[in-house]
Structure 1
Amino acid sequence: MPTYSALTTLPGNAPADALALALEDITPEPTGIGVFEIEDGSGLWEVGCYFTEGPDEIALDLLAAAHGARPFAVSELPETDWVAKVRRDLSPVEAGRFFVYGSHDADKLPAGRTGLLIEAAMAFGTGHHGTTLGCLNALDRLLSAGMQAETVADIGCGTAVLGMAAAHGWPITVLASDIDPVAVEVAEANVIANGLQDRVVCLEATGLDHPDLAANAPYDLIFANILKGPLIDLAPSMAGATRAGGRIILSGLLNDQAEDVSAAYLAAGFTLEQADIVGDWSTLTMIRT
Protein backbone atom coordinates (compact mmCIF):
# COMPACT_ATOMS: atom_id res chain seq x y z
CA MET A 1 0.00 0.00 0.00
CA PRO A 2 1.53 3.36 -0.99
CA THR A 3 1.94 6.11 1.60
CA TYR A 4 2.02 9.83 0.80
CA SER A 5 3.48 12.64 2.87
CA ALA A 6 2.60 16.34 2.71
CA LEU A 7 4.86 18.81 4.51
CA THR A 8 4.88 22.58 4.96
CA THR A 9 6.28 25.22 7.28
CA LEU A 10 4.94 28.44 8.77
CA PRO A 11 5.92 30.82 11.57
CA GLY A 12 4.51 30.29 15.04
CA ASN A 13 3.09 27.43 17.11
CA ALA A 14 -0.52 28.68 17.19
CA PRO A 15 -0.83 29.04 13.38
CA ALA A 16 0.75 25.61 12.94
CA ASP A 17 -1.73 24.05 15.38
CA ALA A 18 -4.61 25.77 13.56
CA LEU A 19 -3.46 24.37 10.23
CA ALA A 20 -3.09 20.89 11.71
CA LEU A 21 -6.65 21.10 13.07
CA ALA A 22 -7.98 22.14 9.65
CA LEU A 23 -6.22 19.20 8.01
CA GLU A 24 -8.45 16.82 9.97
CA ASP A 25 -11.43 17.84 7.83
CA ILE A 26 -10.01 17.36 4.34
CA THR A 27 -10.80 14.44 2.04
CA PRO A 28 -9.15 11.99 1.78
CA GLU A 29 -8.52 12.10 5.51
CA PRO A 30 -4.90 11.97 6.69
CA THR A 31 -3.90 8.90 8.68
CA GLY A 32 -1.59 11.02 10.82
CA ILE A 33 -0.83 14.71 11.45
CA GLY A 34 2.16 16.16 13.28
CA VAL A 35 3.35 19.62 14.35
CA PHE A 36 7.02 20.18 15.20
CA GLU A 37 9.17 23.19 15.99
CA ILE A 38 12.19 23.48 13.71
CA GLU A 39 15.04 23.88 16.20
CA ASP A 40 17.25 26.14 14.07
CA GLY A 41 16.32 29.52 15.53
CA SER A 42 14.16 30.43 12.53
CA GLY A 43 10.88 30.45 14.47
CA LEU A 44 9.33 28.15 11.86
CA TRP A 45 7.12 25.17 12.62
CA GLU A 46 6.64 22.14 10.39
CA VAL A 47 3.22 20.65 9.77
CA GLY A 48 3.17 17.20 8.23
CA CYS A 49 0.49 14.69 7.38
CA TYR A 50 0.35 11.22 5.87
CA PHE A 51 -2.14 9.54 3.55
CA THR A 52 -2.75 6.01 2.33
CA GLU A 53 -4.16 7.38 -0.93
CA GLY A 54 -3.15 10.31 -3.06
CA PRO A 55 -4.08 13.57 -1.27
CA ASP A 56 -6.07 16.39 -2.84
CA GLU A 57 -3.22 18.75 -3.65
CA ILE A 58 -5.53 21.62 -4.56
CA ALA A 59 -7.24 21.39 -1.17
CA LEU A 60 -3.84 21.31 0.51
CA ASP A 61 -2.68 24.40 -1.39
CA LEU A 62 -5.83 26.29 -0.42
CA LEU A 63 -5.38 25.40 3.25
CA ALA A 64 -1.72 26.41 3.17
CA ALA A 65 -2.57 29.78 1.62
CA ALA A 66 -5.37 30.39 4.11
CA HIS A 67 -3.04 29.79 7.06
CA GLY A 68 -0.03 31.69 5.77
CA ALA A 69 2.01 28.55 5.12
CA ARG A 70 4.26 27.60 2.26
CA PRO A 71 2.70 25.27 -0.36
CA PHE A 72 2.71 21.65 0.76
CA ALA A 73 5.44 19.43 -0.65
CA VAL A 74 3.73 16.14 -1.48
CA SER A 75 5.74 12.94 -1.92
CA GLU A 76 4.98 9.28 -2.37
CA LEU A 77 7.01 7.28 0.12
CA PRO A 78 8.59 3.97 -0.87
CA GLU A 79 7.13 0.86 0.69
CA THR A 80 9.64 -0.14 3.37
CA ASP A 81 9.77 -2.68 6.16
CA TRP A 82 11.02 -0.13 8.67
CA VAL A 83 11.82 -2.58 11.46
CA ALA A 84 13.91 -4.71 9.08
CA LYS A 85 15.64 -1.56 7.84
CA VAL A 86 16.45 -0.41 11.36
CA ARG A 87 17.86 -3.84 12.15
CA ARG A 88 20.12 -3.62 9.11
CA ASP A 89 21.19 -0.02 9.67
CA LEU A 90 21.50 0.29 13.45
CA SER A 91 24.52 -1.57 14.73
CA PRO A 92 25.23 -1.72 18.48
CA VAL A 93 26.47 1.47 20.12
CA GLU A 94 29.28 1.64 22.68
CA ALA A 95 29.40 4.51 25.16
CA GLY A 96 32.04 3.88 27.78
CA ARG A 97 30.92 0.86 29.79
CA PHE A 98 27.50 0.82 28.10
CA PHE A 99 26.59 -1.32 25.09
CA VAL A 100 23.23 -0.46 23.52
CA TYR A 101 21.85 -3.16 21.23
CA GLY A 102 18.74 -4.71 19.70
CA SER A 103 17.69 -8.30 20.35
CA HIS A 104 18.98 -9.24 16.87
CA ASP A 105 22.49 -8.33 18.11
CA ALA A 106 22.28 -10.03 21.51
CA ASP A 107 25.14 -12.36 20.61
CA LYS A 108 27.45 -9.35 20.19
CA LEU A 109 27.31 -8.16 23.82
CA PRO A 110 30.94 -8.16 25.00
CA ALA A 111 31.86 -9.71 28.32
CA GLY A 112 32.18 -7.21 31.12
CA ARG A 113 30.05 -4.53 29.44
CA THR A 114 26.71 -3.18 30.66
CA GLY A 115 24.09 -4.19 28.10
CA LEU A 116 21.06 -2.01 27.40
CA LEU A 117 18.49 -3.76 25.20
CA ILE A 118 16.42 -1.40 23.04
CA GLU A 119 14.30 -3.02 20.36
CA ALA A 120 14.97 -2.02 16.76
CA ALA A 121 11.44 -0.70 16.27
CA MET A 122 12.25 2.12 18.72
CA ALA A 123 14.84 4.06 16.70
CA PHE A 124 15.05 7.23 18.80
CA GLY A 125 16.84 6.53 22.05
CA THR A 126 18.88 3.59 20.82
CA GLY A 127 22.10 5.50 21.44
CA HIS A 128 22.74 6.30 17.78
CA HIS A 129 21.49 9.86 18.16
CA GLY A 130 24.21 12.25 19.32
CA THR A 131 22.13 13.46 22.26
CA THR A 132 21.63 9.99 23.76
CA LEU A 133 25.23 9.03 23.11
CA GLY A 134 26.42 12.24 24.76
CA CYS A 135 24.32 11.58 27.86
CA LEU A 136 25.59 8.00 28.16
CA ASN A 137 29.18 9.16 27.83
CA ALA A 138 28.59 11.81 30.50
CA LEU A 139 27.09 9.23 32.86
CA ASP A 140 29.99 6.86 32.23
CA ARG A 141 32.43 9.65 33.11
CA LEU A 142 30.61 10.39 36.39
CA LEU A 143 30.60 6.72 37.33
CA SER A 144 34.29 6.39 36.52
CA ALA A 145 35.00 9.42 38.74
CA GLY A 146 33.33 7.62 41.65
CA MET A 147 30.14 9.67 41.90
CA GLN A 148 27.56 8.17 44.24
CA ALA A 149 23.84 8.74 43.74
CA GLU A 150 20.80 7.75 45.74
CA THR A 151 18.14 9.69 43.80
CA VAL A 152 18.08 9.91 40.00
CA ALA A 153 15.39 11.10 37.56
CA ASP A 154 15.26 10.80 33.77
CA ILE A 155 13.02 13.60 32.46
CA GLY A 156 11.75 13.18 28.90
CA CYS A 157 12.92 9.58 29.08
CA GLY A 158 11.79 8.30 25.65
CA THR A 159 12.96 4.68 25.59
CA ALA A 160 14.23 4.99 29.21
CA VAL A 161 17.75 4.07 28.08
CA LEU A 162 19.32 6.72 30.35
CA GLY A 163 17.26 5.73 33.37
CA MET A 164 18.16 2.08 32.84
CA ALA A 165 21.85 2.97 32.48
CA ALA A 166 21.70 4.82 35.82
CA ALA A 167 19.98 1.84 37.46
CA HIS A 168 22.89 -0.32 36.34
CA GLY A 169 25.35 2.23 37.70
CA TRP A 170 23.94 2.48 41.22
CA PRO A 171 21.81 0.12 43.39
CA ILE A 172 18.82 2.49 43.41
CA THR A 173 15.36 2.95 41.93
CA VAL A 174 15.27 5.54 39.13
CA LEU A 175 12.21 7.57 38.15
CA ALA A 176 11.80 7.93 34.36
CA SER A 177 9.11 10.28 33.05
CA ASP A 178 7.80 11.51 29.73
CA ILE A 179 5.05 13.85 28.62
CA ASP A 180 3.99 11.40 25.86
CA PRO A 181 1.91 8.42 27.07
CA VAL A 182 3.13 6.32 24.12
CA ALA A 183 6.73 6.98 25.15
CA VAL A 184 5.88 5.87 28.69
CA GLU A 185 4.51 2.59 27.30
CA VAL A 186 7.68 2.11 25.25
CA ALA A 187 9.80 2.88 28.31
CA GLU A 188 7.89 0.36 30.42
CA ALA A 189 8.33 -2.33 27.76
CA ASN A 190 12.07 -1.68 27.58
CA VAL A 191 12.41 -1.72 31.36
CA ILE A 192 10.71 -5.14 31.48
CA ALA A 193 12.85 -6.46 28.60
CA ASN A 194 15.95 -5.48 30.57
CA GLY A 195 14.71 -7.06 33.81
CA LEU A 196 14.67 -3.69 35.58
CA GLN A 197 10.96 -3.41 36.40
CA ASP A 198 11.78 -3.15 40.13
CA ARG A 199 14.53 -0.57 39.54
CA VAL A 200 13.08 1.90 37.01
CA VAL A 201 9.62 3.39 37.57
CA CYS A 202 8.03 5.00 34.49
CA LEU A 203 5.69 7.99 34.90
CA GLU A 204 3.65 10.23 32.62
CA ALA A 205 4.52 13.81 33.55
CA THR A 206 5.11 17.28 32.15
CA GLY A 207 8.63 18.17 33.20
CA LEU A 208 8.95 17.62 36.95
CA ASP A 209 5.22 18.03 37.58
CA HIS A 210 4.34 14.71 39.22
CA PRO A 211 3.81 13.92 42.92
CA ASP A 212 6.25 10.99 42.81
CA LEU A 213 8.96 13.18 41.29
CA ALA A 214 8.35 15.83 43.94
CA ALA A 215 8.38 13.29 46.77
CA ASN A 216 11.73 11.85 45.66
CA ALA A 217 13.51 15.24 45.47
CA PRO A 218 16.12 16.55 45.92
CA TYR A 219 18.03 14.59 43.29
CA ASP A 220 21.68 13.69 43.06
CA LEU A 221 21.37 13.45 39.27
CA ILE A 222 18.75 14.49 36.75
CA PHE A 223 18.84 13.72 33.02
CA ALA A 224 16.86 15.99 30.69
CA ASN A 225 17.35 15.05 27.05
CA ILE A 226 14.58 17.15 25.49
CA LEU A 227 14.69 20.45 23.52
CA LYS A 228 16.10 23.94 24.01
CA GLY A 229 12.81 25.70 24.82
CA PRO A 230 11.56 23.23 27.44
CA LEU A 231 15.04 23.00 28.97
CA ILE A 232 15.18 26.76 29.48
CA ASP A 233 11.65 26.77 30.92
CA LEU A 234 12.61 23.99 33.35
CA ALA A 235 15.72 25.72 34.73
CA PRO A 236 14.09 27.09 37.94
CA SER A 237 12.32 23.79 38.64
CA MET A 238 15.51 21.82 38.02
CA ALA A 239 17.36 24.05 40.46
CA GLY A 240 14.73 23.42 43.11
CA ALA A 241 14.80 19.66 42.51
CA THR A 242 18.59 19.18 42.54
CA ARG A 243 20.49 18.95 45.82
CA ALA A 244 23.49 21.20 46.43
CA GLY A 245 26.44 19.49 44.77
CA GLY A 246 24.12 17.38 42.61
CA ARG A 247 24.44 17.19 38.87
CA ILE A 248 22.23 17.51 35.83
CA ILE A 249 22.93 16.18 32.34
CA LEU A 250 21.18 18.23 29.67
CA SER A 251 20.91 17.43 25.97
CA GLY A 252 18.63 17.60 22.96
CA LEU A 253 20.62 20.67 21.94
CA LEU A 254 22.15 21.74 18.68
CA ASN A 255 25.65 23.09 19.25
CA ASP A 256 24.60 26.70 18.68
CA GLN A 257 21.83 26.35 21.29
CA ALA A 258 24.07 25.20 24.13
CA GLU A 259 25.16 28.69 25.16
CA ASP A 260 21.58 29.90 25.70
CA VAL A 261 20.66 26.84 27.75
CA SER A 262 23.87 27.06 29.77
CA ALA A 263 23.15 30.73 30.54
CA ALA A 264 19.66 29.88 31.83
CA TYR A 265 21.06 27.27 34.20
CA LEU A 266 23.96 29.46 35.34
CA ALA A 267 21.35 32.05 36.30
CA ALA A 268 19.38 29.37 38.17
CA GLY A 269 22.36 28.40 40.35
CA PHE A 270 24.32 25.80 38.40
CA THR A 271 27.92 25.82 37.20
CA LEU A 272 29.11 24.14 34.02
CA GLU A 273 31.29 21.10 34.65
CA GLN A 274 31.71 19.89 31.07
CA ALA A 275 30.27 20.37 27.60
CA ASP A 276 30.52 17.46 25.18
CA ILE A 277 29.92 17.59 21.43
CA VAL A 278 28.83 14.62 19.33
CA GLY A 279 28.42 15.75 15.74
CA ASP A 280 25.85 18.58 15.65
CA TRP A 281 24.69 17.96 19.21
CA SER A 282 25.83 19.19 22.62
CA THR A 283 25.49 17.64 26.07
CA LEU A 284 25.99 19.77 29.20
CA THR A 285 26.96 18.38 32.60
CA MET A 286 26.29 20.96 35.31
CA ILE A 287 26.61 21.10 39.12
CA ARG A 288 24.11 22.70 41.52
CA THR A 289 25.96 25.23 43.65
Structure 2
Amino acid sequence: MSEIRLFVTTTEANANRILDLMSLEFGEEDYAIATTEIDEKADVWEVSIYLMGDQEEEVQPRFLRVLQAEYPDDVIQREVIPDVDWIAMSLEGLKPVRAGRFLVHGSHDRDKVQPNDLAIEIDAGQAFGTGHHGTTAGCLEVIDKVVSARNVRNALDLGTGSGVLAIAVRKLVKVPVLATDIDPIAVRVAKENARRNEVVSGIDFRTAPGFHSTAFADHGPFDLIIANILARPLMKMAPQLVAHLAPGGSVILSGILAEQRWKVLSAYNGAGLAHIRTIWRNGWVTIHLMRQ
Protein backbone atom coordinates (compact mmCIF):
# COMPACT_ATOMS: atom_id res chain seq x y z
CA MET A 1 0.00 0.00 0.00
CA SER A 2 1.31 3.45 -0.94
CA GLU A 3 2.35 6.11 1.57
CA ILE A 4 0.61 9.49 1.14
CA ARG A 5 1.76 12.98 2.04
CA LEU A 6 -0.89 15.64 2.59
CA PHE A 7 0.55 19.15 2.85
CA VAL A 8 -0.07 22.88 2.68
CA THR A 9 2.29 25.60 1.44
CA THR A 10 2.57 28.66 3.66
CA THR A 11 4.98 31.03 5.47
CA GLU A 12 7.35 30.08 8.30
CA ALA A 13 5.24 31.83 10.95
CA ASN A 14 2.05 30.15 9.75
CA ALA A 15 3.84 26.81 9.39
CA ASN A 16 4.85 26.84 13.04
CA ARG A 17 1.30 27.67 14.13
CA ILE A 18 -0.21 24.99 11.88
CA LEU A 19 2.30 22.46 13.25
CA ASP A 20 1.11 23.29 16.78
CA LEU A 21 -2.53 22.84 15.75
CA MET A 22 -1.75 19.58 13.96
CA SER A 23 0.10 18.29 17.01
CA LEU A 24 -2.95 18.98 19.15
CA GLU A 25 -5.17 17.13 16.68
CA PHE A 26 -2.91 14.17 15.86
CA GLY A 27 -0.22 14.22 18.57
CA GLU A 28 -1.33 11.07 20.36
CA GLU A 29 -1.67 9.06 17.14
CA ASP A 30 0.87 7.28 14.96
CA TYR A 31 1.15 9.96 12.25
CA ALA A 32 4.27 11.84 11.24
CA ILE A 33 3.89 15.63 11.03
CA ALA A 34 6.70 17.84 9.80
CA THR A 35 7.59 21.33 8.55
CA THR A 36 10.02 21.81 5.67
CA GLU A 37 11.60 24.99 4.32
CA ILE A 38 11.17 25.13 0.52
CA ASP A 39 12.53 28.60 -0.35
CA GLU A 40 14.37 30.61 2.32
CA LYS A 41 14.38 33.92 0.43
CA ALA A 42 10.70 33.74 -0.52
CA ASP A 43 9.66 32.42 2.95
CA VAL A 44 7.96 29.34 1.51
CA TRP A 45 7.35 26.42 3.88
CA GLU A 46 5.34 23.20 3.79
CA VAL A 47 3.49 21.51 6.65
CA SER A 48 3.03 17.79 5.94
CA ILE A 49 1.35 14.77 7.47
CA TYR A 50 2.41 11.30 6.33
CA LEU A 51 -0.06 8.40 6.27
CA MET A 52 -0.90 5.20 4.49
CA GLY A 53 -3.42 5.20 1.62
CA ASP A 54 -6.20 3.54 3.60
CA GLN A 55 -5.97 6.28 6.28
CA GLU A 56 -6.57 9.19 3.92
CA GLU A 57 -10.37 9.16 4.10
CA GLU A 58 -10.21 9.60 7.87
CA VAL A 59 -7.23 12.02 8.09
CA GLN A 60 -7.96 14.46 5.25
CA PRO A 61 -11.17 15.93 6.77
CA ARG A 62 -9.45 16.39 10.11
CA PHE A 63 -6.52 18.18 8.45
CA LEU A 64 -9.02 20.43 6.64
CA ARG A 65 -10.84 21.16 9.90
CA VAL A 66 -7.57 22.23 11.56
CA LEU A 67 -6.84 24.65 8.71
CA GLN A 68 -10.34 26.12 8.58
CA ALA A 69 -10.04 27.26 12.19
CA GLU A 70 -7.38 29.88 11.37
CA TYR A 71 -6.26 29.43 7.73
CA PRO A 72 -9.40 28.83 5.65
CA ASP A 73 -7.73 29.93 2.40
CA ASP A 74 -4.94 27.32 2.57
CA VAL A 75 -5.36 24.41 0.16
CA ILE A 76 -4.41 20.84 1.06
CA GLN A 77 -2.23 19.21 -1.58
CA ARG A 78 -1.57 15.51 -2.02
CA GLU A 79 1.50 13.49 -3.00
CA VAL A 80 1.91 9.75 -3.40
CA ILE A 81 5.39 8.86 -2.14
CA PRO A 82 7.15 6.52 -4.60
CA ASP A 83 7.77 3.03 -3.24
CA VAL A 84 11.45 3.08 -4.22
CA ASP A 85 14.08 1.15 -2.30
CA TRP A 86 16.70 3.90 -2.44
CA ILE A 87 19.11 2.17 -0.10
CA ALA A 88 18.98 -1.05 -2.13
CA MET A 89 20.01 1.00 -5.15
CA SER A 90 22.83 2.76 -3.31
CA LEU A 91 24.30 -0.31 -1.58
CA GLU A 92 25.26 -2.21 -4.70
CA GLY A 93 28.92 -3.12 -4.38
CA LEU A 94 29.44 -1.42 -0.99
CA LYS A 95 31.77 -3.14 1.46
CA PRO A 96 31.62 -3.42 5.27
CA VAL A 97 32.46 -0.21 7.13
CA ARG A 98 34.52 0.07 10.31
CA ALA A 99 33.88 2.92 12.75
CA GLY A 100 35.44 2.63 16.19
CA ARG A 101 34.77 -0.90 17.41
CA PHE A 102 31.78 -1.23 15.09
CA LEU A 103 31.60 -3.14 11.83
CA VAL A 104 28.48 -2.36 9.81
CA HIS A 105 27.87 -4.98 7.15
CA GLY A 106 25.21 -6.63 4.99
CA SER A 107 24.13 -10.23 5.44
CA HIS A 108 26.34 -11.23 2.50
CA ASP A 109 29.44 -10.05 4.42
CA ARG A 110 28.98 -11.91 7.71
CA ASP A 111 32.26 -13.71 7.08
CA LYS A 112 34.09 -10.37 7.45
CA VAL A 113 33.18 -10.07 11.16
CA GLN A 114 36.19 -10.48 13.48
CA PRO A 115 35.99 -11.87 17.05
CA ASN A 116 36.29 -8.46 18.76
CA ASP A 117 34.00 -6.55 16.38
CA LEU A 118 30.73 -5.05 17.51
CA ALA A 119 28.91 -6.14 14.38
CA ILE A 120 25.72 -4.48 13.15
CA GLU A 121 24.01 -6.12 10.20
CA ILE A 122 22.03 -3.69 8.05
CA ASP A 123 20.79 -4.83 4.67
CA ALA A 124 19.25 -2.63 2.00
CA GLY A 125 16.00 -1.15 3.23
CA GLN A 126 13.66 1.82 3.02
CA ALA A 127 15.44 3.97 5.60
CA PHE A 128 18.49 6.21 5.66
CA GLY A 129 21.56 5.28 7.67
CA THR A 130 23.46 2.14 6.72
CA GLY A 131 26.87 3.09 8.13
CA HIS A 132 28.38 3.71 4.69
CA HIS A 133 27.66 7.44 4.69
CA GLY A 134 30.23 9.66 6.39
CA THR A 135 27.62 11.07 8.78
CA THR A 136 26.50 7.68 10.13
CA ALA A 137 30.05 6.34 10.36
CA GLY A 138 31.13 9.52 12.18
CA CYS A 139 28.29 9.12 14.70
CA LEU A 140 29.29 5.50 15.35
CA GLU A 141 32.88 6.53 16.03
CA VAL A 142 31.86 9.24 18.50
CA ILE A 143 29.27 7.00 20.19
CA ASP A 144 32.06 4.52 20.89
CA LYS A 145 34.24 7.26 22.43
CA VAL A 146 31.44 8.78 24.55
CA VAL A 147 30.05 5.53 25.94
CA SER A 148 33.56 4.27 26.72
CA ALA A 149 34.47 7.43 28.65
CA ARG A 150 31.26 8.43 30.44
CA ASN A 151 28.42 6.92 32.45
CA VAL A 152 25.44 6.91 30.07
CA ARG A 153 22.15 5.92 31.73
CA ASN A 154 19.76 6.57 28.84
CA ALA A 155 19.94 7.79 25.24
CA LEU A 156 17.90 9.37 22.44
CA ASP A 157 18.42 8.64 18.73
CA LEU A 158 16.58 11.53 17.06
CA GLY A 159 15.79 10.77 13.41
CA THR A 160 16.68 7.10 13.76
CA GLY A 161 16.39 6.10 10.06
CA SER A 162 17.56 2.50 9.83
CA GLY A 163 18.00 2.29 13.62
CA VAL A 164 21.74 1.66 13.30
CA LEU A 165 22.75 4.29 15.89
CA ALA A 166 20.21 3.16 18.48
CA ILE A 167 21.33 -0.43 17.94
CA ALA A 168 24.96 0.67 18.37
CA VAL A 169 24.27 2.32 21.72
CA ARG A 170 22.37 -0.72 22.95
CA LYS A 171 25.18 -3.06 21.90
CA LEU A 172 27.69 -0.98 23.86
CA VAL A 173 25.71 -0.50 27.05
CA LYS A 174 22.42 -1.98 28.30
CA VAL A 175 20.56 1.27 28.91
CA PRO A 176 17.11 2.37 27.69
CA VAL A 177 17.15 4.06 24.27
CA LEU A 178 14.37 6.12 22.68
CA ALA A 179 14.60 6.08 18.87
CA THR A 180 12.30 8.42 16.94
CA ASP A 181 11.63 9.34 13.32
CA ILE A 182 8.99 11.38 11.52
CA ASP A 183 8.55 8.57 8.96
CA PRO A 184 6.52 5.54 10.14
CA ILE A 185 8.15 3.38 7.45
CA ALA A 186 11.59 4.20 8.86
CA VAL A 187 10.37 3.28 12.35
CA ARG A 188 9.10 -0.07 11.08
CA VAL A 189 12.40 -0.78 9.28
CA ALA A 190 14.40 0.21 12.38
CA LYS A 191 12.41 -2.24 14.51
CA GLU A 192 13.10 -5.01 12.00
CA ASN A 193 16.82 -4.17 12.02
CA ALA A 194 16.90 -4.27 15.83
CA ARG A 195 15.37 -7.77 15.79
CA ARG A 196 17.84 -8.87 13.11
CA ASN A 197 20.68 -7.74 15.39
CA GLU A 198 19.16 -9.55 18.40
CA VAL A 199 18.37 -6.29 20.18
CA VAL A 200 14.86 -7.34 21.12
CA SER A 201 14.41 -5.12 24.18
CA GLY A 202 15.64 -1.81 25.51
CA ILE A 203 14.87 0.37 22.47
CA ASP A 204 11.53 2.18 22.26
CA PHE A 205 10.93 3.03 18.58
CA ARG A 206 8.40 5.84 18.10
CA THR A 207 7.00 7.87 15.22
CA ALA A 208 7.37 11.45 16.48
CA PRO A 209 7.23 14.87 14.75
CA GLY A 210 10.08 16.51 16.62
CA PHE A 211 9.75 17.45 20.26
CA HIS A 212 5.95 17.80 20.22
CA SER A 213 5.58 14.10 21.08
CA THR A 214 5.08 13.09 24.71
CA ALA A 215 7.68 10.31 24.19
CA PHE A 216 10.52 12.75 24.96
CA ALA A 217 9.15 13.84 28.31
CA ASP A 218 8.32 10.22 29.16
CA HIS A 219 11.91 9.03 28.59
CA GLY A 220 14.06 12.10 29.27
CA PRO A 221 16.09 13.94 30.25
CA PHE A 222 18.81 12.08 28.33
CA ASP A 223 22.48 11.54 29.12
CA LEU A 224 23.19 11.07 25.40
CA ILE A 225 21.34 12.57 22.42
CA ILE A 226 22.32 11.62 18.86
CA ALA A 227 20.82 13.59 15.97
CA ASN A 228 22.02 12.72 12.47
CA ILE A 229 19.69 14.98 10.48
CA LEU A 230 20.70 18.15 8.56
CA ALA A 231 22.34 21.38 9.65
CA ARG A 232 19.38 23.75 9.31
CA PRO A 233 16.85 21.73 11.38
CA LEU A 234 19.60 20.96 13.91
CA MET A 235 20.21 24.69 14.40
CA LYS A 236 16.50 25.45 14.68
CA MET A 237 15.86 22.76 17.29
CA ALA A 238 18.92 23.58 19.45
CA PRO A 239 17.00 25.10 22.42
CA GLN A 240 14.47 22.23 22.53
CA LEU A 241 17.12 19.56 22.14
CA VAL A 242 19.26 21.00 24.92
CA ALA A 243 16.20 21.29 27.16
CA HIS A 244 15.91 17.48 27.03
CA LEU A 245 19.59 16.92 27.87
CA ALA A 246 20.58 15.91 31.42
CA PRO A 247 23.30 17.83 33.31
CA GLY A 248 26.69 16.61 32.11
CA GLY A 249 25.05 14.97 29.10
CA SER A 250 26.56 14.60 25.63
CA VAL A 251 25.12 15.53 22.23
CA ILE A 252 26.34 14.01 18.96
CA LEU A 253 25.28 15.96 15.86
CA SER A 254 25.79 15.02 12.21
CA GLY A 255 24.32 15.47 8.76
CA ILE A 256 26.46 18.62 8.66
CA LEU A 257 28.60 19.70 5.72
CA ALA A 258 32.08 20.87 6.71
CA GLU A 259 31.33 24.47 5.73
CA GLN A 260 28.22 24.48 7.97
CA ARG A 261 30.16 23.47 11.08
CA TRP A 262 30.60 26.93 12.60
CA LYS A 263 26.92 27.85 12.26
CA VAL A 264 25.85 24.67 14.04
CA LEU A 265 28.48 25.16 16.76
CA SER A 266 27.30 28.74 17.26
CA ALA A 267 23.69 27.62 17.74
CA TYR A 268 24.61 25.00 20.33
CA ASN A 269 27.20 27.14 22.12
CA GLY A 270 24.43 29.74 22.43
CA ALA A 271 22.19 27.07 23.95
CA GLY A 272 24.79 26.35 26.63
CA LEU A 273 26.82 23.42 25.26
CA ALA A 274 30.61 23.18 25.03
CA HIS A 275 32.40 21.76 22.00
CA ILE A 276 34.41 18.60 22.74
CA ARG A 277 35.51 17.25 19.35
CA THR A 278 34.75 17.23 15.64
CA ILE A 279 35.29 14.24 13.35
CA TRP A 280 35.68 14.85 9.61
CA ARG A 281 34.63 12.24 7.02
CA ASN A 282 34.30 12.77 3.27
CA GLY A 283 33.27 16.42 3.47
CA TRP A 284 30.87 15.86 6.40
CA VAL A 285 31.43 16.49 10.10
CA THR A 286 30.20 14.88 13.30
CA ILE A 287 30.25 17.15 16.35
CA HIS A 288 30.38 16.11 20.02
CA LEU A 289 29.21 18.67 22.57
CA MET A 290 28.53 18.51 26.31
CA ARG A 291 26.39 20.24 28.87
CA GLN A 292 28.65 21.44 31.68
- 1:267 corresponds to which of 261, 266, 270: 270
Task: Please state whether the residue corresponding to 2:103 is helix, strand or coil.
Answer: strand
Structure 1 position 285 matched with structure 2 position 288: yes
Match of 1:159 in 2: 162
Deviation of 1:197 (Å): 2.3
Instruction: State the percentage of identical aligned residues.
Output: 39
1:20-68 Cα offsets, whole Å, 9 max, x none, are: xxxxxxxxxxxxxxxx8799x99999xxxxxxxxxxxxxxxxxxxxxxx
1:87-129 Cα offsets, whole Å, 9 max, x none, are: 5411111001001011111121111111111112357311111
- 2:242 corresponds to which of 239, 244, 249: 239
TM-score scaled by length of structure 1: 0.70
Distance 1:197 1:134, change over 3 A: same
- 1:95 corresponds to which of 83, 93, 99: 99
Cα distance in structure 1, aligned partners of 2:224 and 2:111? 32
Aligned Cα RMSD in Å? Answer: 2.7
Unpaired runs of at least 5, structure 2: 1-8, 12-35, 45-84
Cα distance in structure 2, aligned partners of 1:89 and 1:14? 42
Structure 1 position 199 matched with structure 2 position 198: no
Structure 1 residues 124-273: aligned runs within 5 Å: 124-144=128-148, 146-273=149-276
Deviation of 1:155 (Å): 0.1
Task: Please state whether the residue corresponding to 2:140 is helix, strand or coil.
Answer: helix
Task: Please state whether the residue corresponding to 1:153 is helix, strand or coil.
Answer: strand
Residue correspondences, number: 222
Q: Letter of the aligned partner of 2:182 in structure 1?
A: I
1:71-96 Cα offsets, whole Å, 9 max, x none, are: xxxxxxxxxx9887655411111001
Distance 1:236 1:82, change over 3 A: closer
Distance 1:132 1:42, change over 3 A: farther
Report 1 or 2 for greater relative contact order, CA contacts < 8 Å, sequence distance ≥ 6: 2
Cα distance in structure 1, aligned partners of 2:127 and 2:214? 30
Would you say the 8 A contact 1:232–1:265 is kept in 2? yes
Would you say the 8 A contact 2:87–2:128 is kept in 1? no
Q: Letter of the aligned partner of 1:111 in structure 2?
A: P
Distance 1:95 1:43, change over 3 A: farther
Would you say the 8 A contact 2:99–2:137 is kept in 1? yes
Distance 1:88 1:210, change over 3 A: same
Deviation of 1:198 (Å): 0.7
Deviation of 1:207 (Å): 2.0
